[in-house]
Amino acid sequence: MIEFKLKGEYIALCDLLKTEGIAESGGQGKAMVAEGIVTVDGEIELRKTAKIRSGQIVECLGHTIKVC
């Protein structure tokens, strides 16, 4: 599990995927979300720029990110 330390109130989902190296670019991150392979707190998330806040858990391609 990767722990991501939030610097502001939230981070956009596609940016989080890019920042943690799961996606090579923001565009690839958006495509992953559109494909339905990203979950937030166990639910499939289809909003590419969903605001991810502290305490949420994002999973994609076997990677788990805990936002704190």
pLDDT at position 12: 97
pLDDT at position 14: 96
CA quadruple 16, 56, 54, 15: dihedral, nearest 10: 10
Q: What is the CATH number of the domain that holds 18?
A: 3.10.290.10
Q: CA-CA distance, 1 to 8, in Å (whole number)?
A: 21
Output the six-digit token pair for 40.
């937030």
pLDDT at position 19: 96
How many distinct structural domains can be found in the chain? 1
Mean pLDDT, 10 residues at a time, the chain of 68 residues: 96 96 95 97 97 98 97
Q: CA-CA distance, 51 to 44, in Å (whole number)?
A: 14
pTM of the model: 0.93
Domain range for 39: 2-67
C-beta of residue 55 within 8 angstroms of C-beta of residue 68: yes
Query: SS3 of 62, please?
Result: coil
